[in-house]
Every structure is written in C-alpha cells, then in structure tokens.
Chain A
C-alpha cells in the first residue's frame, strides 16, 4: 500500500513524525510498534535500534486510527479526524461522508460480508482503511452516511480486482445482510411479486432518503421513478463514471428483491433522464411475468 518508502530510516523518521503529529500517547506505542513497553520506549527515545520499522508498523497505525496508510505516510491525512478517532470516537466519519447523511451503512453491509467471504477480513479492513474508515465501522450498521460513500466503495472495489460480473453481484446479494432482519422477514413472507414491490415501496426510508421516490402500481405494472438532486452530491456530480456505476448497482439491486421471497429476479425496463442537476430514472416492472429458470443449482 505504501509506495514512497525508500529506506528504513525514512520510514522510521516518518513514523515518529506521525506519532508526534497525531499525539499518540506513549502508553499506546505498543499498539503501533510491536514489542514490550520497554522496547517501545527504548525505540522512541532512540536508545536502541532493535526495532526495525517497516510496512507492518504503518499498517498497525492505520488500523489503530482507521486512516489510509498512503495518506499517513504522505502527510495528506486529516489530522483532526485522526485525533478524534484516537481520543474521542473511533467511529467518527471523515468529512467527505458527513454531508447529506441520508443513507445508512447497513445498506452496504452485504458488500462488506461479500468481501470477507471471498477476499478475507484483512482485505475488507484494508479497503475500509484506505477510505479513511476504521475496520470496526460496521459494528454500528445504523450509522447514517452519505451517498458518496457507496459510490466510493464501488469505485475502490472496481480498482481492486472486482470484475464487471462481480460488481453486478454486489447489487444482487442484499440477502446477506437483510434476510434475518424484520424487513427481510417481511420480504420473505411475500406471496407474489406485487407483495415484494409493495413492501419495497412502503420501506424506501429504511434504505435512504437521498432520492425522491414515486411509486405507481398500474394494473400489473409497478413504475418507480427515482429523482436525485445532484447539487446535494457534488462529488458525484463531478464523477460521472462513479454515478453511472452506482446507478447500475441500484438497477440490479431493484431486480433482486424478489429473491428474498425465494423468487427469481425481475429486471426492470429503465429510462434515464438527466437534466441539469437532476438525475431521474424510471423503472418499469411487469409483476405477473414469470421468469425462468427457477433459481436452483444447475448441473454441469
């Protein structure tokens, strides 16, 4: 993760610098510089060079305060955030995710679980740390957060080896986090596609309030129109690729709600209208359509 380390003395000097900048108490040196308290203090007072500083120590520090290793090493990290994490609340969010906190971490808990299942805890923690989030952040999944977080998470996974098919998977596996919740059980008890999407229509606030949701049930059609005011999401407005990725994710997510009730997914017809600062998508689903094949493992 750290690209600019040329030699050990540089690493050692930089680690000391960060410890001073953030104000890490000496009693917590053992969390960063592996060793006994005596060894750590001897290293700090430069009485010994028994401890050789390397990438592992920056990783320890990054994990301790949930700040990207690269940003720590480069000195571009948010020092106030680092100090808040250390002395007040480890779960403090970076400024980037504080504006318009109209969504919840729980809506990405399935992505975190998928990362852990397929890449391991270390990878998942590294992804969070590189976004300046502490690995423990998902312990409070009801934490409010903004839409930029979701776009950033998808972007960083796309950059870290997730194929296009796997990116689509992330929108398809909501069951990993939702199936055992009261809302998940409500979906599970659905007897028809109409029940599934009626439950969704009645519960959009559980997911987020970034979008204006307009629901229409006309005959056998469910028409959902979502409107996102982009002026409230400036970072998304600037990065159209991130926005497109997020919208594709949402499209696939909408299709897979029936799976929570043991039904096949229903992919909507979509129409996108982008006018100035408004991003509007109209999804049309036909609720009586049977989708084949039924989902069960097929033999090779």
Chain B
C-alpha cells in the first residue's frame, strides 16, 4: 500500500481520527496496549500517545500498524477525507455566520 497520502500533513484532526480508528481496530482484535507496543518496538507510553492523537506517525510505525491491525486502504482514504471535513466544520463554525448555532 502506498502510504504517502497519510504522511503529508498529520494535523490534529487527522491524528484524532486515525487514533480512533487504530484504537477500535486494536480492541476488535483483542490486543492489549502492551501487545501492540511490543510489536512496534516502542514503549506503551509512546503507543498511548499515538492512540490519543498526540503523536505523529512515521512511515515505519504506520506500515507496521497497517500490517498488524489489518488496516484497509479505502478506510484510510476515508479517514483522510473525514479529517478534512472535521477541519472544515471547525473553521466554518468559528467564522461563518450561517453555521447553525
């Protein structure tokens, strides 16, 4: 899978949505935080930062996550679009007088 589209601009909206997706995938596969952090060769604390959207993903970690959690390309494209929209709503909520109050 070409992951360039995920690595470009990991802003807070993208990180939050990616974090939600990774967490639900981990839980659905019944992996603990320790299971997955061991697989990624990072500390549990560092992994928790990924799952709470505080840490950006590099190519190595991302590829391992895709493999370990069976992340699907179409889902990841959708997450990118969702995060763009979340960012849009945040912007318009602040600045557009027609955004519903």
Measuring CB to CB, which residues of chain A are less than 8 angstroms from any residue of chain B?
113-114, 117-123, 165, 168-169, 172-173, 175-176, 248, 251-252, 256, 259, 264-265, 267-270, 291, 293, 295-300
> In the bound complex, what is the Cα–Cα distance between A196 and B80 (angstroms)?
23
Residue of B nearest to A113 (CB): B78
Contact of A120 among B24, B83, B85, B90 (CB under 8 A): B24
Q: Which listed residue, A123, A256, A267, A299, touches B85 by the CB 8 Å rule?
A: A256
Partner of A168, one of B14, B81, B84, B89: B89
Residue-by-residue, is B1-37 near A (CB-CB < 8 Å gives 1, otherwise 0)? 0000000110111100100110011011000000000
B98 within 8 Å of A (CB atoms): yes
Q: Mark B82-97, 1 if CB is under 8 A from A, else 0.
A: 1111111111110010
Show 6 residue pairs from A and B whose CB-CB distance is below 8 angstroms, ordered by the A residue: A117-B21, A117-B78, A169-B86, A172-B89, A173-B82, A270-B98
Name the distance in Å between B43's Cβ and chain A's nearest Cβ: 24
Asked whether A176 lies within 8 Å of B28 as measured between CB atoms, the reply is no
In the complex the two chains form, what is the Cα distance from A297 to B98 in whole Å?
23
Residues of B within 8 A of A297 (CB): 8-9, 11, 13-14, 80, 83-84, 87
Instruction: Say whether B75 faces chain A, with CB atoms less than 8 Å apart.
Output: yes
B50: Cβ under 8 A from any A Cβ: no
Query: Shortest beta-carbon distance, A169 to chain B, in Å?
Result: 6
Q: Which 4 A-B pairs have the closest CB atoms?
A: A120-B24, A267-B98, A297-B9, A118-B20
Specify which chain B residues have a CB less than 8 angstroms from the CB of A299 in the assembled complex: 9, 11
- Of B21, B86, B98, the residue contacting A165 (CB under 8 A) is B86
Q: Which residue of B lies closest to A247 (CB)?
A: B100
Of the candidates A121, A172, A248, the one having the most CB atoms from chain B within 10 angstroms of its own CB is A172
Set of chain A residues within 8 Å of B81, measured between Cβ atoms: 173, 175
Q: Once the chains bind, are A117 and B75 in contact (CB under 8 Å)? A: yes
Q: Please give the distance in Å from B91's CB to the nearest CB on chain A.
A: 7
CA distance A175 to B13 in the complex (A): 18
B100–A270 touching, CB < 8 Å: yes
CA distance A35 to B12 in the complex (A): 46
Q: Are A173 and B85 in contact (CB under 8 A)?
A: yes
Shortest distance in angstroms between A117's beta carbon and chain B's nearest beta carbon?
6
Beyond A165-B86, A172-B89, A297-B9, is A120–B28 a contact (Cβ under 8 Å)? yes
- Given contacts A118-B21, A299-B11, are A267 and B96 in contact (CB under 8 A)? yes
B80 to chain A, nearest CB (A): 7
Chain A residues, Cβ within 8 Å of B75: 117
A121 with B28: CB separation less than 8 A: yes
| Besides A117-B75, A169-B89, 8 other A-B contacts (C-beta < 8 A) | A118-B21, A169-B85, A172-B88, A173-B82, A252-B89, A265-B88, A297-B13, A300-B11
- In angstroms, how far is the closest chain B Cβ from the Cβ of A179? 9
Interface centre among B21, B79, B88, B96 (most CB of A within 10 A): B88
**Cβ of A123 and Cβ of B24 under 8 Å apart?**
yes
Q: Contact between B12 and A300 (Cβ–Cβ < 8 Å)? A: yes
**CB-based nearest A residue for B14:** A297
Task: Check B84–A268 contact: CB distance below 8 A.
Answer: no
CA distance A251 to B99 in the complex (A): 9
Give the most central of A118, A165, A176: most B CB within 10 Å. A118
**A25 smallest CB distance to B (angstroms):** 31
Q: Which chain A residues border B88 with CB–CB below 8 Å?
A: 172, 264-265, 295
Expressed in whole angstroms, the minimum distance between the Cβ of B10 and any Cβ of chain A is: 8
